[in-house]
């Protein structure tokens, strides 16, 4: 923390002379030079206290600031003492820090250092409360205090640092980067360098700027263990898991925080040891039940393993800690949608829209729920058209104003692609749907979590070719290879069932009602199975005297066959010719009427 000015004692000349006289009488052996040196030491106490704080020597800083309270004419010693107490993270110390700040507020209410200290203490207090609502209030208060302090003086280190910490606690890591960069500019010390690297890695695990920041932090202080933890994250993100473990295991036991166990679990997961990863994440939760990150890890792992219900449950646990975290709700809604839990997805999207009525991603997500329901139920839910009109208005207006892509641009674009894909599926435009799905899948071909959930979504949507693409990519990633193989096996099973039902339909064409039922059973197994559409088309289209309803069905089945079949399918030319004749016959019949 930077204090506004170094301490300068306003020693009264007479008092100083009196002290010198008493010391001379009490101990004649003390030289005048020695006493002059002790006065100089006192005169630099504020600077020493600041340095203790910057060097993370919180107990020494506390003692130094306490000695200065009686002579504090600015409030800086009060601010320093409050921060040094809060940094020690003991409940009694935090309560004392709040008491010190109440005293400071009465005397120095306009001192930006006191305001910044209040922001930091509020942040620390937010970590000690069990109630999510109270936690959010403390975080909001912390943010307000620190913004007020930086407005008065942007060079207050603890204020910039705390702003970054608050944003990370609110799961808004992108917004944490700017204040943490300012903190590094003010003081390039191990704490600030490591916090900035941590934020950058949360936003982008492959961030190229993070490694130099961590290396510099370790050069400044080789035993700064939070930097070693970030170093382990960087190594494992680069695929150097053994080196990451060596880095991690070098951290002494007394410094193994919940974050340590979380990172340890991440490394185990990337090495394919799921049970060990689960044990580590659960230990992180045991040590810090109010940290949502471990719950997110569990949710991601369960989703990759195919346990959608467990994944959703863990995200619900995270939301109990962060009930106002709308990005987390959006993540839960997206997972539920991909797992075909439409009621869960709809509830979460509606919760987001209740507080953010014009949120384009939530509007888009809810529209995707409606498209999925339309495929299942054969009609759109009430309010679908109004929703689409609102979405179009919001996207157009915010895009013009440059707001839509202010944050989450990639996620929004992907959701728009998936939305268009599901809309195309609902209308049997299979090729167009596959293009949309393929674009999103290709953008995640190295991301195991998204590949598996996208594969699951495409499978639930009945687009087995897109699901096959996602699972095929995932199969090349060791940590999810077995799960991807299970997905591919499910696809083979569905296709085999579609082929079996189609053969039964072909064998029972003399009894049209039975044949139609078999063909439709084939399409339940694989909604894009071309031979089933061919069977239905020929059954209805080649009837001796097809009525208008049969003709319309035949045309729809022919169009679906052309969408589902490959260009090399030998039956395409036959269907195209028969379709043309059938359309002319239908048009002629309508003309007679």
Question: In whole angstroms, how far apart are CA 388 and each of 379, 392, 436, 505?
Answer: 15, 6, 19, 40
Average pLDDT score over residue span 347-364: 87
Say which range, 46-50, 147-151, 291-295, has the weakest mean pLDDT: 46-50
The pLDDT assigned to 503 comes to: 96
pLDDT tens digits, residue range 502-520? Answer: 999 999 999 989 999 999 9
The pLDDT assigned to 231 comes to: 96
Say which range, 97-106, 340-349, 464-473, 539-548, has the weakest mean pLDDT: 539-548
Average pLDDT score over residue span 184-206: 93
Task: Report residue 405: phi and psi, to 5°.
Answer: -100, 20
Question: In whole angstroms, how far apart are CA 276 and each of 128, 234, 267, 270?
Answer: 29, 20, 10, 11
The pLDDT assigned to 179 comes to: 95
Of 110 and 196, the one with more pLDDT: 196
**Is residue 4 helix, strand or coil?**
coil
With pLDDT > 90 as the criterion, what percentage of the chain qualifies?
44
The pLDDT assigned to 128 comes to: 82
pLDDT of residue 39 exceeding 50, the answer is: no
The pLDDT assigned to 267 comes to: 93
pLDDT of residue 407 exceeding 50, the answer is: no
pLDDT of residue 33 exceeding 90, the answer is: no
What is the C-alpha R_g of the chain?
33
Per the CB < 8 A criterion, the answer to whether 523 and 498 are in contact is: yes
Say which range, 215-224, 346-355, 360-369, 371-380, has the weakest mean pLDDT: 371-380
Q: What is the DSSP string of 150-169?
A: HHH-TT-HHHHHHHHHHHHH
Q: Could you tell me the sign of the dihedral formed by the alpha carbons of 95, 99, 102, 104, in that order?
A: negative
pLDDT of residue 411 exceeding 70, the answer is: no
The pLDDT assigned to 56 comes to: 77
**Which residue has tokens 């030491």?**
41
The pLDDT assigned to 7 comes to: 28
Q: How confident is the model at residue 227 (pLDDT cuts 50, 70, 90)?
A: very high
Of 358 and 240, the one with more pLDDT: 240
Question: In whole angstroms, how far apart are CA 9 and each of 12, 13, 65, 67?
Answer: 9, 11, 13, 12
Of 321 and 158, the one with more pLDDT: 158
pLDDT of residue 20 exceeding 70, the answer is: no
Considering 39-43, 110-114, 373-377, the range whose residues carry the highest mean pLDDT is: 110-114
Q: How confident is the model at residue 533 (pLDDT cuts 50, 70, 90)?
A: very high
The pLDDT assigned to 491 comes to: 95
Closest C-alpha among 124, 68, 67, 69 to residue 95: 124
Kindly provide the b/e burial profile for residues 489-517, where b requires at least 16 CB atoms within 10 angstroms of the residue's own CB.
ebbeebbebbbebbebbbebeeeeeebbe
pLDDT of residue 437 exceeding 60, the answer is: yes
Say which range, 27-41, 193-207, 338-352, 370-384, has the weakest mean pLDDT: 27-41
Whole-prediction pTM = 0.66
Say which range, 233-237, 277-281, 586-590, has the weakest mean pLDDT: 586-590
Average pLDDT score over residue span 58-66: 88
The pLDDT assigned to 135 comes to: 85
Say which range, 311-320, 540-549, 578-587, has the weakest mean pLDDT: 540-549
The pLDDT assigned to 474 comes to: 92
Average pLDDT score over residue span 200-214: 92
The pLDDT assigned to 546 comes to: 62
Kindly provide the b/e burial profile for residues 323-350, where b requires at least 16 CB atoms within 10 angstroms of the residue's own CB.
ebbbbbbbbbbbbbbbbbbbebbbbbbe
pLDDT of residue 189 exceeding 60, the answer is: yes
Q: How confident is the model at residue 88 (pLDDT cuts 50, 70, 90)?
A: confident
Say which range, 11-15, 102-106, 390-394, has the weakest mean pLDDT: 11-15
Average pLDDT score over residue span 27-45: 37
The rounded mean pLDDT for the chain is: 83
Average pLDDT score over residue span 51-79: 86
The pLDDT assigned to 212 comes to: 95
The pLDDT assigned to 591 comes to: 52
Q: How confident is the model at residue 384 (pLDDT cuts 50, 70, 90)?
A: low
Per the CB < 8 A criterion, the answer to whether 97 and 1 are in contact is: no
The pLDDT assigned to 142 comes to: 94
pLDDT of residue 61 exceeding 80, the answer is: yes
Per the CB < 8 A criterion, the answer to whether 300 and 310 are in contact is: no
Q: How confident is the model at residue 72 (pLDDT cuts 50, 70, 90)?
A: confident
**Is residue 316 helix, strand or coil?**
helix
The pLDDT assigned to 400 comes to: 42
Query: Residue 440 is inside which H or E element, if any?
Result: helix 430-443
Please give the Cα distance from 156 to 2 (Å, whole number).
6
pLDDT tens digits, residue range 233-275? Answer: 999 999 899 999 999 999 999 999 999 999 999 999 888 888 9
């Amino acid at each position: 923390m930077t204090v506004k000015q170094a301490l300068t004692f306003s020693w009264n000349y007479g008092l100083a002379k009196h002290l010198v006289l008493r010391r001379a009488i009490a101990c004649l052996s003390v030289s005048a030079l020695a006493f002059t040196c002790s006065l100089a030491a006192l005169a630099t106490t504020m600077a020493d206290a600041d340095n203790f704080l910057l060097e993370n020597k919180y107990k020494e800083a506390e003692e130094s600031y306490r000695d200065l309270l009686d002579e504090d004419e600015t409030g800086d010693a009060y601010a320093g003492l409050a921060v040094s107490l809060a940094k020690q993270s003991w409940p009694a110390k935090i309560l004392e820090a709040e008491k010190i700040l109440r005293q400071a507020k009465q005397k120095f209410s306009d001192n930006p250092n006191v305001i910044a200290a209040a922001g930091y203490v509020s942040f620390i207090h937010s970590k000690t409360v069990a109630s999510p609502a109270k936690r959010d209030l403390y975080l909001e208060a912390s943010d307000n205090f620190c913004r007020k302090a930086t407005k008065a003086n942007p060079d207050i280190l603890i204020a910039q640092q705390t702003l970054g910490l608050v944003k990370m606690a609110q799961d808004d890591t992108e917004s944490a980067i700017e204040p943490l960069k300012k903190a590094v500019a003010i003081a390039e010390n191990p704490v600030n360098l490591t916090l900035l690297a941590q934020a950058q890695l949360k936003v982008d695990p492959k961030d190229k700027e993070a490694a130099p920041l961590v290396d510099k932090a370790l050069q400044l202080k080789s035993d700064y263990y939070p930097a070693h933890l970030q170093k382990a994250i960087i190594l494992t993100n680069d695929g150097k898991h053994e080196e990451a473990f060596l880095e991690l295991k070098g951290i002494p036991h007394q410094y193994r925080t919940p974050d340590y166990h979380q990172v340890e679990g991440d490394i185990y997961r990337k090495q394919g040891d799921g049970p060990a990863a689960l044990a580590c994440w659960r230990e992180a939760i045991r040590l810090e039940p109010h940290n949502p990150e471990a719950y997110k890890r569990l949710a991601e792992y369960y989703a990759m393993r195919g346990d959608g219900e467990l994944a959703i449950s863990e995200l619900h646990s995270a939301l109990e800690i962060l009930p106002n975290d709308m990005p987390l709700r959006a993540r839960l809604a997206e997972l539920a949608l991909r797992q075909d839990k439409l009621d869960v997805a709809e509830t979460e999207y509606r919760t987001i829209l209740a507080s953010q009525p014009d949120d384009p991603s939530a509007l888009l997500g809810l529209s995707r729920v409606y498209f999925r329901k339309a495929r299942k139920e054969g009609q759109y839910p009430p309010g679908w058209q109004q929703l689409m009109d609102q979405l179009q208005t919001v996207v157009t207006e915010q895009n013009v104003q440059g707001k839509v892509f202010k944050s989450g641009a990639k996620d929004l674009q992907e959701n728009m692609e998936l939305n268009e894909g599901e809309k195309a599926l609902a209308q049997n435009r299979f090729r167009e749907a596959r293009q949309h799905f393929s674009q999103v899948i290709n953008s995640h071909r190295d991301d195991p979590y998204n590949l598996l959930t996208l594969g699951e979504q495409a499978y639930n949507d009945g687009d087995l070719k897109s699901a096959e693409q996602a699972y095929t990519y995932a199969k090349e990633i060791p940590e999810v290879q077995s799960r991807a193989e299970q997905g591919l096996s499910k696809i083979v099973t569905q296709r085999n069932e579609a082929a079996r039902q189609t053969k039964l339909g072909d064998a029972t064409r003399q009894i049209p009602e039975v044949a139609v039922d078999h063909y439709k059973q084939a399409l339940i197994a694989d909604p894009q199975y071309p031979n089933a559409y061919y069977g239905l088309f020929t059954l209805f289209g080649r009837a001796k005297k097809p009525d208008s309803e049969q003709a319309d069905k035949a045309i729809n089945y022919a169009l679906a066959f052309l969408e589902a079949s490959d260009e090399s399918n030998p039956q395409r030319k036959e269907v195209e010719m028969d379709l043309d004749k059938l359309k002319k016959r239908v048009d002629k019949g309508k003309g007679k009427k």
